[in-house]
Amino acid sequence: MAKTRSFQHIKAHPQQIKIRTAMVENQVEISIRYNGKGMTEEVKAKIFDHLFTTKAVGKGTGLGLAIGASPQRFAIARQIVVEKHGGAIKVDSTLGEGTEFVIELPL
């Protein structure tokens, strides 16, 4: 069953996506932070696995960021950032608080 939020809760705690960029030593750092529901440790451990999805059978294929950005779709992003460009992609997520992805790319 989907969890609903009251109008007062939404007004007091609006969902936000924050994007930050920075130059750190000889690399570009891109941070994407979302104050949504976050991920469990189990989901976080698998998000970079090819074809991983949290959706029910027939509701998703886990194809990665080639289709869209959601917590379970990052295998292709990792391949592009790490293998093709020699960078790094990290995730920090706390259930009930939100998720932050940090992408580091060498110059």
pTM value is 0.67
Please state which architecture CATH assigns to domain 14-106.
2-Layer Sandwich (3.30)
Separation CA 1–CA 35 (nearest Å): 21
- Among 40, 30, 33, CA closest to 18: 33
- Name the pLDDT band for 67 (thresholds 50, 70, 90): very low
Over pLDDT 70: what percentage of the chain? 70
Sequence ranges of the domains in the chain: 14-106
Residue 100 has pLDDT above 70, yes or no: yes
